[in-house]
Amino acid sequence: MIGWFRRQLLSRKADEMMPDAAEFDAVCGASRCLALLDREERRRLRRLAAMILAGKQFHGAGGFQPGWEHCLPVAAHAALPALEIGLEAYSQFHTFILYEDEFESDFEEIDDAGVVHRGRDLRAGEAWHRGPVVLSLADVHQSGHGDGYHVVVHELAHQLDHLNGDADGYPPLPRQIAHRDWVDTFSAAYRRLIREMDRDEEPAIDPYAAESPGEFFAVASEYFFDWPERLSEVEPGVYRLLAALYGQDPLVRLRNR
């Protein structure tokens, strides 16, 4: 009963937060990956964006106070990976923290010799396990233009990955994806990228994907939505599995535009 009541409250709040159709079309038109959606997909994306605006908290950081015009693009882009799989994928976090630009974050790394290195570096986004999604709005605006860069998709892929524990590149899989198929395909693609970098070759995708299997999954998700033709060309097996995971095929959208 409580779950049903909360869902009803969220639905009514989403009705109140529903963005104006023309305003939402403008947000979608400014991004290649959103502009590819057909009318029915865009209608559902708008509803999901309203649900995100109603159900998540949006806070500023670094002295910045975000307004509606800042939160709406974040919600629209966040709705894209969940378009077919639903917002349960985002059930373990409740807050977006928005900076105007890149932000400093503490890091801790252990090198091959076992030495711990600590410091601070600049980030475009972060996703905490059962914690907030932190985003640079400057990077949100640079996302989704067809070059494989999409910070919102990247961080929400980490949240999807976190649903079954660590962000290790192995998110919860639908029944149509075999465990061995996923592990073999992604492991082989990850090793190929590392070999390309070891040979000083031009990497097939953003070299940040070589940081870890979790980062490979997040970067591959960026390419899947934002530059699907590139991912399909260089890693067709990864593309196939991401299409099954997200229940979407951006290449079909490209062909139908």
Q: What pLDDT is recorded for position 124?
A: 79
Residue pair 81/89 in contact by the 8 Å Cβ criterion: yes
Instruction: Give the DSSP per-residue string, 60-100.
Output: E-TT----HHHHHHHHHHHHTTTTTT-GGGGTT--EEEEES
Pairing between strand 133-136 and 95-99? parallel
CATH for the 2-256 domain, from 3.30.565.10, 3.30.70.20, 3.40.390.10, 3.90.550.10: 3.40.390.10
Beta pairing class for 95-99 and 57-60: parallel
In 3D, which of 213, 222, 127, 220 has the Cα closest to residue 168?
213
| Cβ atoms of residues 100 and 136 within 8 Å | yes
What's the confidence (pLDDT) of residue 125?
78
Tell me how far CA of residue 4 lies from CA of 12, 82, 194, in angstroms: 12, 21, 48
* Dihedral sign computed on CA atoms, order 192, 197, 199, 205: positive
Q: Look up the pTM and report it.
A: 0.90
pLDDT at 115: 53
pLDDT beneath 70, residues of the chain: 1-6, 104-122
Q: What is the pLDDT of residue 108?
A: 57
pLDDT score of 106: 61
What percent of the chain is helix, strand and coil (3-state, nearest 5)? 55, 10, 30
Q: What is the C-alpha separation between 66 and 109, in angstroms, rounded?
A: 32
pLDDT of residue 14: 83
pLDDT of residue 132: 94
What per-residue string of b and e applies to 151-181 under the rule 16 or more CB within 10 Å gives b? bbbbbbbbbbbbeeeebebbbeeeeebeeee
CB 223 within 8 A of CB 207: no
- How does DSSP assign 180-238, residue by residue? HHHHHHHHHHHHHHHHHHHTTPPPSS-GGGGG-HHHHHHHHHHHHHH-HHHHHHH-HHH
Domain ranges of the chain: 2-256
CA distance 182 to 218: 14
> What is the reported pLDDT for 4?
57
Structure tokens at 57: 């908290």
Cα dist from 222 to 47, 64, 152, whole Å: 22, 27, 9
